[in-house]
A and B are shown apart, each in its own frame.
Chain A
Amino acid sequence: MKKLALSDEILLTIEKPARYIGNEINMVEKDLNNIDIRFCMCFPDVYEIGMSHLGIQILYDMFNRREDTYCERVYSPWVDLDKIMREKQIPLFALESQDTIKNFDFLGFTIQYEMCYTNILQVLELSQIPIYAKDRTEDDPIVLGGGPCTYNPEPIADFFDFFYIGEGETVYNKILDVYKENKLKGGTRKDFLEKAAEIDGVYVPAFYDVDYNEDNTIKAFTKNNVHGKDIISKQVEMNMSDTYYPKKPLVPYIKATQDRVVLEIQRGCIRGCRFCQAGMVYRPIRERNIEFLKEYACEMLKNTGHEEISLSSLSSSDYSALQELVYFLIDEFSSKGVNISLPSLRIDAFALDVMSKVQDVRKSSLTFAPEAGSQRLRDVINKGLTEESILNGAMDAFNSGWNRVKLYFMLGLPSETVEDIEGIAVLSDKIAREYYTIPKEQRNGKVSIVSSTSFFVPKPFTPFQWSRMDTAEEYLEKQHLLRAKFNEQLNRKSIKYNWHEAELSVLEGVFARGDRRVSKVIYDAYKAGCLYDSWSEYFKYDLWEKAFEDNQIDIAFYTNRERIKEEILPWDFIDAGVTKDFLWREYNRAINAKVTPNCRMACSNCGAKVYEGGVCFEDRKQ
């Protein structure tokens, strides 16, 4: 076994030393003498979160299938170790070999949410790699990023050598081939980046300049290197049933957030909810073949020993062979004590039947995500869930013995009125009233309803990318209003109301639609001590405010401003499949509260048809 990078004394001083020792079940070990490319994959958050991420497991498996490449992992050291590493100047290391990352060829980040940006800087700095790409030398690894946040990479563009826009299964092999060839030839870092920039989906920020107008909007986005592409096209894996997927995912020793087999049954979504970035950028929906899924479910459960399997997708109910798959899993695994979890399932007769088979009805809860409190606002966001279907679904469940309901809503959606906000409390109460129509002797005690609101954050490549976002003050006002309304409800004692922090959402809003000028703010806030911003106990909004002030960057410019159609958006150079025309059409339909049918009902000509597959080429039902 390899010697660990950290001493026993350090490991026995910090929380959960198992975060840093590697050696997990199914970890890949390779002889470094036969390796040309050392790749370190990073999820910039704590180990238990990062280990729960499916994307890394897919890429880890894919990279390690290459004989010339050894892909290892690193996660953000927790604050206790962070402090020790800085004090003792211990360089950050990869879990597998325990070698310092600075000597690797690549350090790749998967960027899943905006609030991890300071953790990216932490990993770079602890690795002793210059934070700004421009300061890196031939001795430093190539730093790259991928994942949902790279659909607007501009706020972190200065920290990355390149971004990979799209799904990882597609062109990474080409990138590694090019790197190896360049290395053999003795080419420089810049030589490699120029060659990489010619590969579809690769964006090298240094090869582009941004000019601004006096009103701070973007004047021009221009190429300064002939090797860069004019438009960066999102890469899509169209053959979901014959591609990389890990049969032997890593099994951590400590309990990860996702302590189960995750089976991605399909990618993309037909629903077209207008606030949802994933529903837009992962178009078109592509299903995995059911035989592929059955085989992988069996293999992955056997190779991990997990007690639970979770079907993953944006909307499981839309998977065409869902019933067959779920009943197969129940028949095959229920007797073996394997739990089956089905998030994102629409509540209907099938769902209730499945849930009653795989869960303890008395202990489990039903989840609905109406997102908005009124039908009008649900039409604005194109969330095709009606009050009738929620009430019917809840009633069916109540009659089958359930008595717990979770409801998810957003505050601050475009065009929101006081009635819409109050509707959240009213709908919650209506569900409770339904429950109490059941005769007392037939009920299972009291009903428990938990309603949660998050604040809406407009995202790039959604119809709301032009929308004004509320200020923190407006959010809090709305939240107070709603809380008061909850207290007026007949069944207020059966309803619990949870809410999110407004300031965190404001910051997320800036990063989601920010431009390159925001990077200095992120750098300064990090240097001032911001880290683990997504963890409320470590979120220091006052330091962020100061960093914005010091850099004379106005938060309101990024968040509280309605954009016009002609404005150049920071992410306009990316082609994510859905066209700007489609998004604009959808935006206007939203304003008029017009619903757009889902992809299986009618094609709305979003642009994703260019990928020549998925739902766009299915026989349309109805």
Chain B
Amino acid sequence: MKTRIKFTKSGPLKFIGHLDVMRYFQKAFRRAELDVEYSQGFNPHQLMSFAAPLGVGLTSDGEYLDLQLKTSDEPKAMIDKINKAMAEGIQVVDFKVLSDESKNAMSMVSAADYMVSVKDGYEFMGMEEFKQKFQDFYNKESIVILKKSKKSEKDVDIKPSIYHIGFDREEFYKNIGQSFDKDKKSVADAYDNGVKVFMQVATGSSNNLKPELVMEAFCQYTGIEYNIFAYQVHRMEVYADLGTEENRSLIALDKMND
């Protein structure tokens, strides 16, 4: 059966790369003695796939992996069972059985929410100034920046890939059309300087915008030097798009009713 697992990544484990996270889960599922389905052949491997790889250094409240199981318990029991075999920095927060016809998470990813915080100890501006400047920056018709990939370098307009922004959770959730739950737990680190911005951006194989590139464009716009180490990027949620290109209809991967 197809199942979907939502997990968090935080603390020191943000330094574990994606391939190692995959290995980590394979071992964790063995420790938890899940009834995992294996591929055929001499080197059988667990049938699992991740929605959207998280870069080294990023934390997250909303990571997803799809796992094939032979049998399963109630979601609550499954979550407890898996978490007993997990490290503190990677914890399962949701478990769902999917219908056999459902597409895998990776193929559907099209957007994600991020919180970008300025880390303490780096020269930056105060929250009020930042808010104003970032809003001005976001209000521009187009935001053109040099995008470097392994193969090419080209100027791209990232504005269409930034769907919404916000400067506190409440405002951000309003902007993305969701209800705000102030008791919702987050594993994100908090910083004393308090400067942060929330953004919903395009994510996935067809169009992917890294929040880091948005910050780089912002620094360019403001005329300050972009220090790649100065920001903590935290992923909050990952979405599939059930709408069309012109009319998005985003839905969190754990809210999909197949």
Contacts and interface: CB of A to CB of B under 8 A. Distances in A.
A17 interface: yes
B229 A25 contact: no
Contacts of B27: 25, 251, 304-307
Contacts of A301: 30
B216 to A, nearest CB: 16
Interface of A: 1-2, 4, 8-9, 11-12, 17-18, 21-25, 251, 253-255, 301-307, 336-337, 339, 359-360, 363
Nearest to A363: B42
Interface in B55-99: 56-57, 85, 87-89
B87 A25 contact: yes
Closest 8 CB pairs of A and B: A305-B27, A305-B30, A360-B42, A305-B31, A17-B15, A21-B12, A9-B229, A1-B11
A8 B119 contact: yes
Given A253-B20, A304-B27, A307-B30, 10 more contacts: A1-B12, A8-B229, A18-B17, A18-B20, A21-B13, A21-B15, A23-B11, A305-B26, A336-B30, A337-B38
B43 A360 contact: yes
Nearest to B232: A8
Interface in B213-234: 229, 232
Contacts of A336: 30
Contacts of A255: 20, 23
B168 interface: no
B38 A302 contact: no
A354 to B, nearest CB: 15
Contact of A253 (B24, B30, B38, B119): B24
Contacts, number: 77
B87 to A, nearest CB: 6
B177 interface: no
Contacts of B45: 337
Contacts of A253: 13, 16, 20, 23-24
B31 A304 contact: yes
B31 A18 contact: no
B20 A254 contact: yes
Interface string B1-19: 0000000000111011100
Count chain B CB atoms within 10 A of each CB in A1, A11, A253, A254 and give the residue with the most: A253
Contacts of A8: 57, 119, 229, 232
B123 interface: no
A307 B229 contact: no
Interface of B: 11-13, 15-17, 20, 23-24, 26-31, 33, 38, 42-46, 56-57, 85, 87-89, 119, 229, 232
Contacts of A9: 229
For B30, B46, B88, the residue with the greatest tally of chain A CB atoms inside 10 Å of its CB is B30
Contacts of A17: 15, 56
Given A8-B57, A302-B33, A307 B26 contact: yes
A18 B15 CA distance: 6
B16 A18 contact: yes
A18 B13 CA distance: 8
A527 B206 CA distance: 53
B82 to A, nearest CB: 11
A359 B41 CA distance: 11
Contacts of A4: 12
A98 to B, nearest CB: 9
Nearest to A337: B44
9 contacts: A1-B12, A8-B119, A12-B229, A17-B15, A23-B11, A305-B26, A305-B28, A305-B29, A307-B26
A75 to B, nearest CB: 16
A251 B56 CA distance: 20
A1 B28 CA distance: 20
B90 to A, nearest CB: 10
A12 B87 contact: no
B34 to A, nearest CB: 10
Contacts of B12: 1-2, 4, 21-23
A23 B15 CA distance: 11
A4 B20 CA distance: 20
A23 B12 CA distance: 8
Contacts of B119: 8
Most buried by B among A18, A339, A363: A18
Nearest to A29: B88
Most chain B CB within a 10 A radius of its CB, from A12, A303, A306, A360? A12
A8 B233 CA distance: 12
A303 B31 contact: yes
B20 to A, nearest CB: 5
Chain B CB within 10 Å — which of A11, A336, A337, A339 has the most? A337
B44 A1 contact: no
A251 B26 CA distance: 12
Contacts of A307: 26-27, 30
B235 to A, nearest CB: 16
Contacts of A11: 15, 57
A360 B15 CA distance: 35
B30 A23 contact: no
Nearest to A10: B229
Contacts of B33: 302
B89 A1 contact: yes
A1 B26 CA distance: 23
